[in-house]
Structure 1
Amino acid sequence: MQYELLYIVSSSYTDEDVGKVEGNVKALIEKVGARLVETKRLGKFRFAYPIKKNRHGHYILTYVEMEPTTVAKLDEILRMSNEVLRHLILRADEAGGEKFELVQFTEVNLDSKEDRPRRKREEPTAEDKAKVAEDIKSGVAAI
């Protein structure tokens, strides 16, 4: 049965080191008794939140042929690996299998404070001023 394995490698690794990690993961896959079909480097992306003190990571998608009983073994081995920050194993037919196109993250550009129009403050009415003055007088009288 074919599975998709998506794993993330720390951004502290160079491209050469990421290649070595790919080789290590390939060796782990073969050690479990599975067959590597294809590997794609999806690129380096920013995380939504820090993972093990990392803000970016290299995403690698791998297609693997293996028996359903070996999925748990591979999952456990990858969980113990220090090189892989996160991983996810899905059956390829459940994952969709359609071609997809990655969309680059673009930061939202908010207007700076100086560019935004200032909110107009309402001037206090005569009634409000009288009420405040009376509150002050009664507060002073209570002392």
Structure 2
Amino acid sequence: MRLYESVFIARQDISTGQVDALCEEFTGIITEGGGKIHKQEYWGLKTLAYRIKKNRKGHYILFNIEADAATMAEYDRKLGLNEDVIRVLTVSIDEVDEDPSIMMQAKSDRPSRDDNTAAPEAAAEPKE
């Protein structure tokens, strides 16, 4: 079985209870197909960069999934048929990161963009 990371955006006008029901539906599809959900995160109602199907906001949900290709095909098919889902991105990954994603961390806990640890070789060179 392969590992996948899937993020989908649900419509802005559904409640968080309906989002939970949507997550349960998709979790059921994965588990019925013999797959496993390693991590599930609800990122909240966020403003979209541009309108998608007349929506300016959307509920963001992340799944880390371990499943075979047939189960993922059924999962993608059901996501595409569901009217509450407005956008989906599913990618194959090498390993599951058990830590909370960057979106779930508080802004003060996130790594800084100005941090020199991102380019250690540039920081090690002396300036003339």
In the alignment, is the contact (CA less than 8 A) between 2:5 and 2:65 conserved in 1?
A: yes
Structure 1 SS opposite 2:38? strand
Q: CA deviation at 1:37?
A: 2.0
| Structure 1 gaps, min length 5 | 105-143
Runs of 4+ in structure 1 deviating by more than 6 angstroms, as ranges, are none
CA distance in 2, matches of 1:26, 1:85: 18
In the alignment, is the contact (CA less than 8 A) between 2:9 and 2:87 conserved in 1?
A: yes
Instruction: Report what 2:55 is aligned to.
Output: 54
Q: CA deviation at 1:8?
A: 0.8
CA shift in 2, pair 1:37/1:46, >3 Å: same
| Structure 2 gaps, min length 5 | 108-128
User: What is the TM-score with the length of structure 1 in the denominator?
Assistant: 0.61
Structure 2 SS opposite 1:30? helix
Give the greater-gyration-radius structure (CA): 1
Counting helix residues as a fraction of each chain, which structure ranks higher? 1
CA shift digits 1:77-131 (9 cap, x unpaired): 211111211111111228x848642388xxxxxxxxxxxxxxxxxxxxxxxxxxx
Look up the equivalent residue of 2:88 and give its one-letter code.
Answer: H
CA distance in 1, matches of 2:69, 2:63: 16
- Structure with more relative contact order (C-alpha pairs < 8 Å, separation 6 or more): 2
Structure 2 SS opposite 1:82? coil
% same residue: 28
CA shift in 2, pair 1:25/1:15, >3 Å: same
Instruction: Report what 1:29 is aligned to.
Output: 30
Alignment coverage as a number of residue pairs: 103
Instruction: Report what 2:92 is aligned to.
Output: 91
1:57-96 aligned at under 5 Å gives the runs 57-93=58-94
CA distance in 2, matches of 1:33, 1:40: 21
